[in-house]
Amino acid sequence: MVQLSDRARGVSIAAAGVLCVTPDAVLLRWAQTQGANTASILFWKFFFVFWFTCAWVFYVEKKSAPPEGVVKSLYERIKTGPKHFWAAVGLQISLDVLFSLAFLIIAAARVMIWYSLNVLWSAILGCALLGDVLPRRTIVTCIFALGCIAMVFGPELATKKGREGSPWGDLAAIYVGVAVAVYLIIVRHAARERPRVPITFATTVGALAAFVLVSLSTLVTGDCIVPKVSSPGLFYLCMALDGFAIAGIFVAFSIAPRYITGAEVSLCSLLETVLGPLWVFLIYNEKPGPFTLAGGLLLIGALFVHELLAAREAVQRRERERQGTEASLRAMEGIIGDAKSPDSTLGASSAPSDGTGDGALSDLPSEKTVSVAADTSDSVFSVAANSV
């Protein structure tokens, strides 16, 4: 089995979650075209997110075989860091509701532009709150990636359709970008200070609360959560797929920040802006424009170069560590060999002495030799002393 480094594991988990969520916008759009109202879409989406995340959490928890049972184990783990857990739950509820609402209120291009700023927020918050020191390659890639996102969605924003929608949709999308960054910070801080907190379970509780809130909202709006669509079976299948997609990225973003910085997780999330238009093309045969293709290819290229440089730095670091270890072992072997040398032992025993002890003192190891041996290990010092 291939052993991945912590960084490789974190990047792989984040990328897998992003790949899983890429069909989200297309699935929501399809549900709208079938005549489903906003309340029914959100309710069934979060209903399936709840069950998929719940299944994952119970599978992982049961795999560890806690003697007190899964529910009791989760409760005890929550008690180790309740602030982290409930903060994550609150953010999950707001992200669940507002991100989907933003897509339903304003153009997807505007949502993704605001959402992509989570790269910037993650970098700033990580440095300010957790003391992250971002490599130069990560800083440059973040700036370049934001430029690529502007290239992808800028032309659409200039059209009349791109400018349509309520400003509340923009505020929701801006909040989502900030909330994602804060969520990543909470996950990373919990991994450092409260590693037993079940952050992934927070996604389950958040999804449960989200579809309960949607249900209660229908009492005010009068909307029906059972949609009147031409193909009910396809609608529920669509919502199940969307629930699985959202559950995938929620679980991934609850695990990946344990291994990499929030800025790097956010960089991985930008892949959605490239792969999302691909789903639109496959389902609706809407060909992406030249700016979308150019920006997407540049973004993928930037992320590839970023990971290539990171991999090269990791190889160089391991090589330096190996050389340092070999040098230390050679120095150790040399000191031990000198201490056990027969010539030095004979010389010490046959040294002439006039009774004053000068000869014996002259044959003692120098202060430098004793210091080196003592710094190397106590046992080496003992061997050197006994050989005199």
Note whether residue 373 is domain-resident. Answer: no
Note whether residue 141 is domain-resident. Answer: yes
Place of tokens 């560890």: 64
Q: Is 172's pLDDT higher than 70? A: yes
Closest C-alpha to 314, from 1, 11, 13: 11
To 5 degrees, how large is the angle CA 80–CA 83–CA 86? 105
Average pLDDT over residues 153-165: 71
Cβ neighbours of residue 13 under 8 Å, at least 6 residues apart? 252, 255, 256, 259
Average pLDDT over residues 239-243: 93
Q: Is 204's pLDDT higher than 90? A: yes
Q: Cα dist. 254→17, 93, 103, 174, 265 in Å? A: 10, 14, 23, 21, 11
Q: What digits encode the pLDDT tens for the residues 358-372?
A: 444 344 444 444 443
Residue 353 confidence class, pLDDT cut points 50, 70, 90: very low
Lowest-confidence pick of 170-174, 181-185, 316-320, 354-358:
354-358
Give the number of other CB atoms < 10 A from CB of residue 188: 24
Please name the amino acid found at residue 184. L
Note whether residue 234 is domain-resident. Answer: yes
Q: What digits encode the pLDDT tens for the residues 2-12?
A: 567 788 888 99
Work out how many domains the chain is built from and give that number: 1
Core vs surface per residue 59-88: b (16+ CB within 10 A) or e: eebeeeeeeeebeebbeebbeebeebbebb
Average pLDDT over residues 20-47: 87
CA distance 328 to 376: 9
CA distance 139 to 143: 6
Note whether residue 333 is domain-resident. Answer: no
The helix (H) or strand (E) run that includes residue 296 is: helix 290-339
Q: Is 384's pLDDT higher than 80? A: no
Question: What percentage of the chain exceeds 90 in pLDDT?
Answer: 27
Domain that holds residue 148: 6-318
pLDDT at 140: 92
CA distance 75 to 196: 11
24, 112 in Cβ contact below 8 A? no
Note whether residue 15 is domain-resident. Answer: yes
Q: Is 83's pLDDT higher than 50? A: yes
**Alpha-carbon dihedral of residues 53, 55, 58, 64, nearest 10 degrees?**
-100
Note whether residue 245 is domain-resident. Answer: yes
What's the pTM value of the predicted model, to 2 decimals?
A: 0.75
SS3 content of the chain, % helix, strand, coil (to 5): 80, 0, 20
Q: Is 17's pLDDT higher than 90? A: yes
